[in-house]
Amino acid sequence: MDKASSWLKNTLGYEFSDTGLFQQALTHRSSPGQSNERLEFLGDAILGAVISEAVFRAQANSPEGDLSRLRSSLVKDTSLADLAAGLGLGDHLILGSGEKKSGGHRRESILADSLEALFGAVYLDAGFDASRDVIERAFGDRLYDLPDPGDLRDPKTRLQEWLQARQMGLPDYELVDVSGKAHRQEFEIRCSVNGVDATASGMGTSRRHAEQQAAERMLKRLKSLAK
C-alpha cells in the first residue's frame, strides 16, 4: 500500500487517515477481502453532487437539459475510465488472479467503479469538502473546458442522424456477449451499418449503455473514414 499511498499523494494530493478505507477502495470483488462495491455506491452519489455543482457554476445561463447532458458526459463510465487510466489508478488496483490475467486493470467498468469507490472512501475518511477537492483535482480542466451541450445528444441519436443525412441505412446493434453474475452483468454489443466495412463494439453494465458506447465509437469511425 505504500506505493499506492505515494501515488495518491503525488497525483491527487491526498493522504488517508484510515488506510483500510483506501485499501478497500482499491479492492475489486474478484480479490479476497472486502470489495469496493459499497464505496462505489457512495462515491457515485458524491461525484454526482460535486459535478452538478461545478457544471451549474460554470454554465450560468444554461437550461436544466443542457446541464444534465454536461454532467452525464463527465460522469459516464467511459469518461471515468479514461480519467482513471490517465491518473494511473489501474496500476494500484487489487484484483483476483483471473482478472489480473485478463487485464482487469485496463477494463473500463473496473476503472470507473474503482474511481468512484476512491471518491467514496475519501468522503468517509475526511468529509465532503475533502472529497470535492480530490474530485476537482482528478477532473482538472475538464470541469471548465466543457463541450457544447448540443454535441452531447444521445450517441445513438447522433449516429442515426449522421447516417440519415447521408441517406444510409440504420445501424444494427448485435448482442455479442453477456458476462458476470446476474446482479452484476456486463454486456458487449457490436454496432454495424449496412454497406460499411467497419464495426464498433461497446461494453456496459446494461445493454443500453453498451449500445450507446458502440454507437459513439461507430460514429467516430465513420467520421474518420469520411475524411
Same-domain status, 137 and 201: no
Same-domain status, 47 and 143: yes
CATH at residue 175 = 3.30.160.20
Same-domain status, 196 and 118: no
CATH at residue 18 = 1.10.1520.10
What's the CA gap between 50 and 136, in Å, rounded?
8
Q: Determine the pLDDT at residue 53.
A: 95
pTM: 0.71
- Write the CB contacts of 52 (distance below 8 Å, at least 6 apart in sequence): 67, 71
Same-domain status, 161 and 114: no
Same-domain status, 144 and 161: no
- Tally Cβ neighbours within 10 Å of residue 37: 14
Look at residue 34 and give its three-state secondary structure.
coil
Same-domain status, 117 and 160: no
Same-domain status, 177 and 102: no
Q: Determine the pLDDT at residue 200.
A: 96
197 is catalytic: no
Q: Determine the pLDDT at residue 154.
A: 83
Out of 150, 185, 204, pick the residue that ends a domain: 150
What's the CA gap between 152 and 26, in Å, rounded?
31
Q: Determine the pLDDT at residue 182.
A: 76
Number of domains into which the chain is organized: 2
What's the CA gap between 151 and 165, in Å, rounded?
16
Same-domain status, 145 and 170: no
Averages of pLDDT over runs of 10 residues in the chain (227 residues) are 93 96 96 94 97 93 89 91 95 92 89 97 98 97 83 85 91 94 87 92 91 94 86
Same-domain status, 103 and 20: yes
Q: Determine the pLDDT at residue 185.
A: 87
Same-domain status, 33 and 118: yes
What's the CA gap between 29 and 45, in Å, rounded?
20
Q: Determine the pLDDT at residue 67.
A: 92
Q: Which of 40, 44, 113, 216 is catalytic?
A: 44
Bridge partners of residue 199, in order along the sequence? 192
Out of 150, 176, 205, pick the residue that ends a domain: 150
Q: Which of 77, 116, 186, 216 is catalytic?
A: 116
Same-domain status, 17 and 96: yes
116 is catalytic: yes
Domain span at residue 134?
Answer: 2-150
* Measured torsion, CA atoms of residues 49, 52, 55, 57, in degrees rounded to the nearest 10: -70
Look at residue 98 and give its three-state secondary structure.
helix
Same-domain status, 24 and 111: yes
Out of 150, 170, 196, pick the residue that ends a domain: 150
Q: Determine the pLDDT at residue 175.
A: 96
